[in-house]
Structure 1
Amino acid sequence: MVAHRIRSSAAAPLGFDDIRRELGIPGPFPPEVLAQAQQEAGRTFPDHVDATDLELVTIDPAGSKDLDQAVAIETRGDGWRVSYAIADVASWVDSGSALDLEAHRRTQTYYAPDRRVPLHPEVLGEGAASLLPDGPRPAALWTIDVDASGTTTAIDVHRAMVRSRTQLTYQGVQEQLDAGTAPPVLQAFPAIGAALLQAARARGAIELGLPEQSVVATPDGSWTVELRADLPIEQWNAQISLLTGRAAASLMLDAGIGVLRTVPKADEAAFPRLRAAARNLGIAWPDGAGPGDVLASLDTSQPRHAAFADLAAELLRGAAYTPFSGAPPADPGHAGVGAPYAHVTAPLRRLVDRFGTEICLAVSHGRPVPGWVTDALPQLPEQMAAGDSLSKKLDRAVIDATEAFVLTDRVGKVFAASVVETGASYGTVVLDEPPVRARCDTSNLPLGASVHVRCTLADVATRQVRFERVS
């Protein structure tokens, strides 16, 4: 992990509140929404199947309270049974209610280093609807059987009452798995994770494995910008989520109704450019290997590997939410997943998942999809696209401001960097340390090349950082 620490000061404060106001990030919930959430938090669910005997656990970043998923994995013969409980948001939020309308306005939870702006009021999103280990919760309970090759062999989903046994963190679970002390319901994670990753490579999935560039607070009151690669447990857990999303897409396509998360197939015309970048970065691209195979071999905690993964992101452009009723979309696939895929595993934090889950619950039991779902489908892509754009702008503004702050006392210094974008008059570089990505005012930079650049500008107020090449 690469980090560079910065401290707040009166001369150059980091104004995350200013950024939220500038971008129009939603503010506090209206009183009527809070009042309704408080009232709904007392609901009971006598019609849900009792599945509280399942030994489910949650795995999330430390300090999380909006827990969407709880998991248990059982070895069955040479394969596995995955039990995956997803927070049942539709059981708490009625269509057309103040809660529902506010969720449509927000579309998702917005994250910044100092705080999060949630999709739902905390009494639900971090309380009654969250799969916390303090009592039964309503859930959409997925049961998915997977064989030794990572192929799905059976899918079931129904409403159930579940009870998480404990709230775990990624770091803690990784340490337990490494030490052989993980709970029985997690001991199969490495095996099924490896099988699912291998199956993804066989499908031609382009999984970037991008390291997380983030701004985090530290106990002493400073801020840190970090570049951190995923732990193995995070990769395996992501595969369980992707497995469920693929199962959801399968149900939708079989039923002829749904909303998919689509990404067009990668443009092979970009492959030679990436091959050249790989050579410049010292990354092997064997004959006959696809970009997904190359990406799977990387250690993105290494700056050059991270730079290549950043470059490969151009292969996954054109992401969209694609609703359909009747004929499936002409291209229903997701290039990153290597298969059709739908968002259903994060309904506390993402609006569209509530609707995707409801479609799957209906079609898997031979019931008509509720009218409130079909009525919403045409508007969801535009709403989610607007929310996704706003979330990306917030992420970029926060990181840009912090990067400028990191470098305010280092203007004129020279850094090792890799070129990740190139143009006729300027390009983009990523520093080896600190993990800053910014414009380099030098023409015709060689893509993927290792260069040395000098910082020429670091302005917190405008959130701008500039470099020039020196060698």
Structure 2
Amino acid sequence: MPARTIVAPPKAIDFDAIRGELGIPDGYPAAAVDQARAAAVRDPAAANGAAAPAREPLDVPFVTLDPPGSRDLDQAVHLSRREVQGGYLVRYAIADVAGFVPPAGPLAQETWRRGATLYSPDRSTPLHPVELSEGAASLLPDVSRPAVVWTIALDAAGEPVEVDVRRAVVRSVAQLDYPSAQLDADSGRLHPSISLLPEIGALRQALARRRGAISLDIPDTEVVRAPDGRWTLERRAVLAIERHNAEISLLTGTCAARIMLDGGVGLLRTLPPPSAEQVALLRRATAALGIPWPESMPVSEVIAGLDGDRPRDAAFLEDAVRLLRGAGYTAFDGSAPARREHGGVGGPYAHVTAPLRRLADRYATEVCLALHAGRTVPDWARMALPDLPATMTAADRKAAELAKACAGAVSVFVLHGREGETFSATVLQLEPAKNRAIVILHEPPVRAHCPPDGLVEGSVIAVRLVSADPKTNRFVVEPA
């Protein structure tokens, strides 16, 4: 965390204007809201999406684990040991959005127009009306909710040996958040429903590294609200509990991908694996930075041993981001696609665990339910598959544009009025083709471009703030 907080003047940042410039919707169409409200008052046990068999209540003490203050709760988890067979049993309940959104009509049309929930510092622009996303469809505590429950048996090493997926009615007994759960994990008093999460998460991380999966836990610069209500920037490392929780989602996504590949129909999240040339370039970068990389060690193991808070490691991880470019979605029907791998995961993978916030998950989940039960995939889900890649790619692009614009606006305002000051910064990356270097100031944690002459990746330098213009949301730094 930064040693001191730099904040913007009150109400100085117009996030509404940023959203308007990017064409992000303000409000939800009345007809779609009406349809959502009608769905929200139905008996959850009767909401069965694509005419699936009747739901049975599942008497399992699920808990949710999310960022503080979250209301759009997609996932609830319960972990236990398999006493007889050995290993573990992962139960993962996912909000059953298909039980609330008819395949056609104004609500479905609007979710297709949006593609995903978009997050700004001051509010979210939800994929679904809040009556569903933060209400009737959300896995909030102490209420019964329709869900799609994945039950995954793992052996002692953490590998899946049996998978089941079906609709049920579940009840979360607690809403947990990452910071508090991390404190509980550190003190050995995690909630009983997830007391095995560090153990299972570590096993899954080890398996991922052996598969060649690439996970870049780079400390992130976040736009947050300071205690006095003003906007500021914070540099925040990913908590161990977050990484372990992510492993449960990744496990489920890999099981979903296998079901769809075996069934010959579905939607995969794909990413080309790193090429030999990319790895060779990265190896040269580690040599320049003085980071050890034995010839026999895979890149996944090198990355796993780095700490993004150290300047040299941060520079290497910034270079390694190049290995994770080219992500997309691959729809298929009739035979498995040639492009099926996700280089970051180290194998086939599908998005099925965030249907409240991501359109594709609703359809991929429906495919998995049908295939696993030996039923025909519903036409409404099957016919949508070819159009989902373009819709999701557009939503991902919009989310990236929004995040960049909001972070840029806050960066300018935390720097405005400090022109001429000198700041310590780490050189993250040199980009000779663009004649620039990417640096991150240590405080406030602002990413910036500056002239590259004489700079070395991984070094700590001093930069001077030349200008910071709130009218254009642009700022300029140069080596001091």
Is TM-score (shorter-chain normalized) higher than 0.5? yes
Match of 1:67 among 73, 77, 98: 73
Match of 1:360 among 363, 368, 375: 368
* 1:2 and 2:8 aligned: no
Amino acid across the alignment from 2:90: V
Matching of residues 460-471 of structure 1 within 5 Å: 460-470=470-480
Matching of residues 259-298 of structure 1 within 5 Å: 259-298=267-306
Instruction: State the alpha-carbon separation in 1 of the partners of residues 464 and 177 from structure 2.
Output: 40
User: What secondary structure is seen at the aligned counterpart in 2 of 1:192?
Assistant: helix
Matching of residues 177-326 of structure 1 within 5 Å: 177-326=185-334
Task: Give, in angstroms, the shift of residue 278 of structure 1.
Answer: 3.0
Instruction: State the alpha-carbon separation in 2 of the partners of residues 373 and 49 from structure 1.
Output: 20
Sort the Cα spacing of 1:420 and 1:60 in 2 relative to 1 into closer, same or farther, 3 A: same
Per the alignment, residue 453 of structure 1 pairs with 463
Sort the Cα spacing of 1:9 and 1:183 in 2 relative to 1 into closer, same or farther, 3 A: closer
Identity %: 48
User: What secondary structure is seen at the aligned counterpart in 1 of 2:432?
Assistant: coil
Runs (5+) with no aligned partner, structure 2: 47-52
Instruction: State the alpha-carbon separation in 1 of the partners of residues 455 and 154 from structure 2.
Output: 47
The RMSD of aligned alpha carbons is 1.8
* 1:418 and 2:424 aligned: no
Contact map agreement 2:427 2:455 (CA 8 A) in 1? no
* 1:57 and 2:70 aligned: no
Amino acid across the alignment from 2:452: T
1:29-59 deviations in Å (ceiling 9; x for gaps): 0111111111110122345432331110000
Per the alignment, residue 408 of structure 2 pairs with 400
Query: Under a length normalisation based on structure 1, what TM-score does the superposition of the two structures give?
Result: 0.95
Per the alignment, residue 391 of structure 1 pairs with 399
Contact map agreement 2:6 2:444 (CA 8 A) in 1? no
Task: Give, in angstroms, the shift of residue 220 of structure 1.
Answer: 0.6
Instruction: State the alpha-carbon separation in 2 of the partners of residues 3 and 119 from structure 1.
Output: 37
Instruction: State the alpha-carbon separation in 1 of the partners of residues 186 and 7 from structure 2.
Output: 35
Instruction: State the alpha-carbon separation in 2 of the partners of residues 145 and 33 from structure 1.
Output: 39
Instruction: State the alpha-carbon separation in 1 of the partners of residues 145 and 370 from structure 2.
Output: 20
Amino acid across the alignment from 1:53: D
Give the number of equivalent residue pairs.
Answer: 469
Amino acid across the alignment from 1:20: R
Contact map agreement 2:420 2:464 (CA 8 A) in 1? yes
Task: Give, in angstroms, the shift of residue 459 of structure 1.
Answer: 2.1
Match of 2:337 among 329, 332, 341: 329
Per the alignment, residue 20 of structure 1 pairs with 19
Instruction: State the alpha-carbon separation in 1 of the partners of residues 392 and 244 from structure 2.
Output: 27
Sort the Cα spacing of 1:136 and 1:303 in 2 relative to 1 into closer, same or farther, 3 A: farther
Contact map agreement 2:8 2:414 (CA 8 A) in 1? no
Per the alignment, residue 50 of structure 2 pairs with none
Contact map agreement 1:108 1:350 (CA 8 A) in 2? yes
Q: Is the deviation greater in 195-204 or in 417-426?
A: 417-426
* 1:427 and 2:437 aligned: yes
* 1:436 and 2:435 aligned: no
1:107-131 deviations in Å (ceiling 9; x for gaps): 1111011111111111111000000
Instruction: State the alpha-carbon separation in 2 of the partners of residues 436 and 272 from structure 1.
Output: 30
Contact map agreement 2:224 2:231 (CA 8 A) in 1? yes
1:397-437 deviations in Å (ceiling 9; x for gaps): 01111112222233333323213232242222222332221
Contact map agreement 1:303 1:432 (CA 8 A) in 2? no
* 1:345 and 2:353 aligned: yes
Task: Give, in angstroms, the shift of residue 190 of structure 1.
Answer: 1.2
Matching of residues 105-184 of structure 1 within 5 Å: 105-184=113-192
Instruction: State the alpha-carbon separation in 1 of the partners of residues 135 and 312 from structure 2.
Output: 42
Contact map agreement 1:262 1:333 (CA 8 A) in 2? yes
Sort the Cα spacing of 1:451 and 1:286 in 2 relative to 1 into closer, same or farther, 3 A: farther
Amino acid across the alignment from 1:178: D
1:199-236 deviations in Å (ceiling 9; x for gaps): 00000001111222210012312222112111111000
Contact map agreement 2:439 2:450 (CA 8 A) in 1? yes
Task: Give, in angstroms, the shift of residue 297 of structure 1.
Answer: 1.1
Query: Under a length normalisation based on structure 2, what TM-score does the superposition of the two structures give?
Result: 0.93
Amino acid across the alignment from 1:435: P
